[in-house]
Amino acid sequence: MYRETITSTNILARKLLTSNIDLPFVVISEEQTQGKGRLKRSWFSPSKKGLWFSTAFPISGKNKKIGHYNFLVSLAVSSAVETFSGLKIDFKWPNDILCGGKKICGILSEVISEDSGNIVLVGAGLNVDIELKELADDIKDKATSILIETGKSPDRDELFIELVRTLNLLYDIWEKNGLTPLYKEWIKKCATLGKTVSIAQGKQKITGTAESVNSDGSLNLIGSNGKKYKIYAGDIEYIINDQ
Ligand code: BTN
């Protein structure tokens, strides 16, 4: 489903779920007026400057977990961007998609409980044609776009078609061969592993080494106090010396 403008594609996807729509589906909008980021932040989504879209999947099948849908969508985004632009993409746990250490795409997953089972909404915002001067001062040194990185604007329609094609392909691989091929690919691209990081967990701030990511998407952290932590969600910061 396509829209010129919408508050948020995640909000639209949530509404569509009440109308007996078939799953899975994808909604995309040229612009979002209330784009939502993680941790209640807003997401800058100017008209025709990015791919602002949400996918909805039933969480069905043996051993399927919410984190798996994040692997799926982030791999589809990275593959489409790399094919189209030649850029090298990597991941920052849990679900930031980076280029040269700067965020080019963010992912917001939400779980919805229905009588018929759980549904996961995976919303992704990929910065395509945003210019550096359009970015707010507080994110200028942290965010980027395909245009900023390459000086070129890819055809957004073709980029999106490639992305959805890859999403379908990876979904089929997952159905046929299980999670392992996707998980291995995701780990290969995860730049967080081995880094010294800090993460807020409630009122506590944990610092340590990001040791590994489990197949459910959670992060194993060895704290600088020697304790082992399994972290399911949060926003990590890389400790500068280590970058
Ligand atoms: C993040 O904070 O990193 C997540 C950003 C997610 C933005 C996308 S854009 C499409 C979808 N609709 C929203 O309102 N948010 C997500």
CA of 122 to the centre of ligand 1 (A): 9
Q: What is the pLDDT of residue 242?
A: 44
Residue 243: pLDDT band with limits 50, 70, 90: very low
Query: Residue 24: is the preceding peptide bond cis (ω within 30°)?
Result: yes
Place of tokens 């932040």: 41
Q: What is the mean pLDDT of the chain?
A: 93
Per residue in 114-123, pLDDT tens? 877 899 999 9
CA of 179 to the centre of ligand 1 (A): 24
- Show the tokens assigned to 149: 């990185």
* Residue 62: half-sphere exposure toward Cβ, Cα within 13 Å: 4
Task: Count CB atoms within 10 A of the CB of residue 191.
Answer: 17
Q: Residues 157, 162, 167, 171: is their CA dihedral positive or negative?
A: positive
**Cα distance between residue 75 and residue 185, in whole Å:** 8
**Cα distance between residue 238 and residue 210, in whole Å:** 10
CA of 124 to the centre of ligand 1 (A): 5
**pTM assigned to the model:** 0.94
**Per residue in 48-66, is it b (16+ CB within 10 Å) or e — as a string?**
ebbbbbbbbbebeeeebbb
Q: What is the pLDDT of residue 78?
A: 98
Ligand 1, atom nearest to 37 Cα: 2
Ligand 1, atom nearest to 103 Cα: 3
Q: Are strands 2-6 and 25-32 parallel, antiparallel or unpaired?
A: parallel
Q: Is the CB of 93 under 6 A from ligand 1?
A: no
Per residue in 40-68, pLDDT tens? 899 999 999 999 999 999 998 777 888 99
Q: Are 217 and 66 in contact (CB under 8 A)?
A: yes
Per residue in 196-218, pLDDT tens? 999 988 888 999 999 999 999 99
Q: Are strands 236-238 and 228-231 parallel, antiparallel or unpaired?
A: unpaired
DSSP assignment of the chain equals -EEEEES-HHHHHHHHGGGT--SSEEEEEEEESS-B-GGG-B----TTSEEEEEEEEE--STT--HHHHHHHHHHHHHHHHHHHH---EEEETTTEEEETTEEEEEEEEEEEEETTEEEEEEEEEEE-S--GGGS-TTTTTTB--HHHHHS----HHHHHHHHHHHHHHHHHHHHHH-SHHHHHHHHHTBTTTT-EEEEEETTEEEEEEEEEE-TTS-EEEEETTS-EEEE-S--EEE-GGG-
Q: Describe the strand order of the beta sheet including 2-6 as a list of residue ranges.
A: 2-6, 25-32, 50-58, 117-127, 102-114, 96-99, 89-92
Q: Is the CB of 52 under 6 A from ligand 1?
A: yes
